[in-house]
Amino acid sequence: MKHKHCFSRSAACLAGAALLCTAFSVQAREYSVSTVLSDAFPWGEAAEKWAELVEERSDGAITLEVYPDSQLVNGDQTREFSAMRSGLIDMAVGSTINWSPQVPELNLFSLPFLMPDYEAVDAVTGGEAGEMVFDAIESKGVVPLAWGENGFRQLSNSNGPVDAPEDLEGLKIRVVGSPLFQDTFEALGANPTQMSWADAKPALTTGAVDGQENPLSVFDVARIDQAEQMYLTRWDYMNDPLIFAVSERVWQELTDEERELVRQAAIDAGEWEIEKTRAEESERLEAIKDRGVEVVELDEEQRDAFVDATASVYDDWTPEIGADLVESAREAIDNR
């Protein structure tokens, strides 16, 4: 009888353990995270850091699987927001540029020469204007959680140094699929050509387009200098913040505690990525120069010429973005 009793207790313990394992497996959930770039770039690193923090802080109950290179939208980065809104993508670390066709307020960050430095970027994203932008995103069925950074976008080309608007006359410049970019480069006399990033480097290499604009991190890691881009102008004409976000469908599945965990992990990953991206910028610039790229640094007078040349873009786009939002951003920049 004693042995039988011991056996019964052992069986009960094993059954209990099995139930616990079953409960854990039910609770453990995996969600997809879309990014345009891999973890070779700061953008992809931001997503991977988010995934790492969520898994660590949830003890593995929640895992985020990162899908870089716009895999979840067949390479079309401008479809990412719509896919997340419809629930095809669970989460994303996305670009304000790529999401702007669905959220017009995000065009704020693409206004040429609005934000002159990182202090201005932080004033906008961390203040009332940033809250207004997040409200606009949430109204579209996506929950924004935190900011990251893709950096200031710089201009490169294969023809020669660019330090004045007239140097862009007639140049074919690859731009992302946003009408505001089309208007900006047309105002500068260039011939903007919209294409995905997957098509951009081959087009640059063959000379189908003359130039492109991207942050230093992208120029450096993607070795855009190997695509005949040996002239780089540091003009800081716009900054492209990244946004950590979750589809409304997934957000509703999470408990309050899980929401806080996912949100705080996004905030921490974003702060980590922003600091890292900015700290690496000077090192990247030196690496680019060492590869023989000629770098033009604009002085104040030269920059003002580009500002004046693109003034019409504000007239056309402020009503689309929202006059109150543009004004709020400008006040934040002036008071930084």
Q: The domain spanning residue 312 has which CATH number? A: 3.40.190.170
**Pick from 176, 130, 129: which is nearest to 153 by CA?**
176
The pLDDT tens digits of the residues spanning 3-34 come to 444 444 444 444 444 444 444 344 689 999 99
Instruction: Dig out the tokens for 56 from the structure.
Output: 């660590």
Contact in structure between 123 and 147 (CB atoms under 8 Å): no
pTM of the model: 0.89
Identify whether 136 is part of a domain: yes
Identify whether 284 is part of a domain: yes
What range defines the domain where residue 89 resides? 29-334
The confidence score (pLDDT) of residue 196 equals 81
The rounded percent of the chain whose pLDDT value lies above 90 is 87
Identify whether 19 is part of a domain: no
The pLDDT tens digits of the residues spanning 270-301 come to 999 999 999 999 999 999 999 999 999 999 99
Identify whether 18 is part of a domain: no
Q: How many Cβ atoms sit within 10 Å of the Cβ of residue 264?
A: 15
**Pick from 187, 309, 284: which is nearest to 234 by CA?**
284
The pLDDT tens digits of the residues spanning 306-331 come to 999 999 999 999 999 999 999 999 99
Identify whether 321 is part of a domain: yes
Identify whether 20 is part of a domain: no
HSE-up (13 A, CA, CB side) for residue 19: 6
Identify whether 234 is part of a domain: yes
Split into its structural domains, the chain has a count of 1
Identify whether 17 is part of a domain: no
Q: Is the dihedral of CA 276, 278, 283, 284 positive or negative?
A: positive
Query: In whole angstroms, what is the distance from residue 122 CA to residue 309 CA?
Result: 26
